Amino acid sequence: MTLWEKAVAELIDIVEWTDDSSDTLVWRFPRYENEIKQGAQLIVRQAQIALLVNKGEIADTFTAGQHRLTTSNLPLLSTLMGWKYGFHSPFKAEVYFINTRNFTNLKWGTKNPVTLRDPEFGPVRLRSFGTYVVRVSDPVRFIREIVGTGGHFTLGEVAEQLRNLIVTRFSDMLAESKIPVLDLAANYNELSEYLTAKIAPEFMAYGLELTKLLVENISLPLEVEEALDKRSSMGIVGNLDNYLKFQSANALEAAARNPGGDASAGIGMGMGFAMASQLGKMVTPAQSAPDSPAPPPLPDAGGSYYVGKDGKQAGPFNQQTIGEYIRKGTIGRETLLWKEGMSNWASAVEFSEFAPLLQATPPPLPK
């Protein structure tokens, strides 16, 4: 150090903190033996507050601006140090800078599921997460309650305690609210506001202000969500019997578009016939009340018929159903039919009851 630098050091003393971090809450000005010259310049930047501490006791507080440290603006420190007539020599004091800006996008979430009783699903386990915003609003209390004598205090040193506090109060609030699981998403704003109001006084006890808290998501366990998705799918499908009938009708229609196709088409038609027959047996008892008398069967519309095509047998079907298949082209003139009382299968054209329909249906195109 040159002679000029030594002279400047004796004449000028600047106490300041240029924060280059993103998570520092409190920083103590480093000075050998805490010695500060009389008339030193204290520079406090925006979103900062400076505290002077003498022997562990907080004295004077300075807000944003440039301050010249003299007896006139250090009344508490002057009293603590017993300066009755002012001072002209260096004095000793610790200078703490407190960051008072808002720390945003801080995360909170439940480490373990919260178990509660839902009126619709019974006992369920819920997880939740969100964000919150916090700032130092009472530097003196924050120094006394949290920081102590540490020279560098970061947000990470207190964030875990704050998260635990939020999760505990949130779990209690969620259980007491008795809001059904399916209605929670519609109440995120209300839950956030209520939780903020409930926790804010506890944060204030540490000298912190909870300026914003958001509940972003409340979710069920994965296996429960999958079961709920299946339940939703069944609700969209609606009546299962009607759905199966619809699927069977589609299969029959596809087979009707290719009456002269390969064996797979015949197999498909046979399966369609079988499904329709089984559905006819399933739907009737399902739709009648167990305690009400069953209605008498409908009169037989022309007897029971069996259909044979591509080596596959399907049925029985009444005369009206066979007529519908003939109109659609699923059953042609040469399609084999059999009904009770016949010794052998016969072509559909040989049945007098179906002859008018088959004559109105053009024969298949020549190959």
* DSSP-assigned beta bridge partners for residue 313: 308
Which domains are assigned to the chain?
Answer: 11-99 (no CATH), 103-225 (3.30.479.30), 239-285+299-360 (no CATH)
pLDDT-derived band of residue 288, with 50, 70 and 90 as boundaries?
very low
Backbone torsion region of residue 26, taken as left when φ is above 0, otherwise alpha when ψ lies between -120 and 50, otherwise beta: beta
Taking 50 as the threshold, does the pLDDT of residue 265 lie above it? no
Which alpha helices (DSSP H) does 213-318 contain, by range? 222-237, 240-256, 263-287
Average pLDDT on 141-150 reads 85
Q: Tokens representing 74?
A: 């250090």
Please report which helix (H) or strand (E) contains residue 194, including its range: helix 188-204
What is the structure's pLDDT at 289? Answer: 47
Q: What separation in angstroms does the CA of 24 have from each of 52, 103, 304?
A: 18, 10, 88
**Looking at 55-207, which runs of residues are DSSP E strands?**
57-62, 65-68, 91-92, 94-99, 103-109, 114-118, 122-136, 152-154
In sequence order, which residues have a C-beta less than 8 Å from that of residue 285 and are 6 or more positions away? Answer: 294
**Tokens 């006819």 -> residue:** 280
What is the structure's pLDDT at 246? Answer: 66
The amino acid that residue 140 corresponds to is V
d(CA 113, CA 102): 30
Which range has the worst mean pLDDT, 43-52, 69-78, 97-106?
69-78
* DSSP-assigned beta bridge partners for residue 307: 314, 337
Please report which helix (H) or strand (E) contains residue 305, including its range: strand 305-309
Q: What is the pLDDT of residues 173-227, one digit of tens each?
A: 988 888 888 898 899 999 999 999 999 999 999 999 999 999 999 988 777 777 7
Q: What is the pLDDT of residues 29-43, one digit of tens each?
A: 887 776 787 788 899
What is the structure's pLDDT at 99? Answer: 94
Taking 60 as the threshold, does the pLDDT of residue 290 lie above it? no
Sheet holding 312-317, edge to edge: 312-317, 305-309, 336-339, 346-347
Average pLDDT on 259-266 reads 51
* In contact, 169 and 132? CB cutoff 8 Å: no
The amino acid that residue 321 corresponds to is T
**Tokens 């069977």 -> residue:** 248
Please report which helix (H) or strand (E) contains residue 72, including its range: none
Average pLDDT on 11-19 reads 79
The larger pLDDT score, comparing residue 54 to residue 255, is at: 54
Mean pLDDT of the chain: 78
Write down the pTM of the prediction. 0.57
* In contact, 150 and 94? CB cutoff 8 Å: no
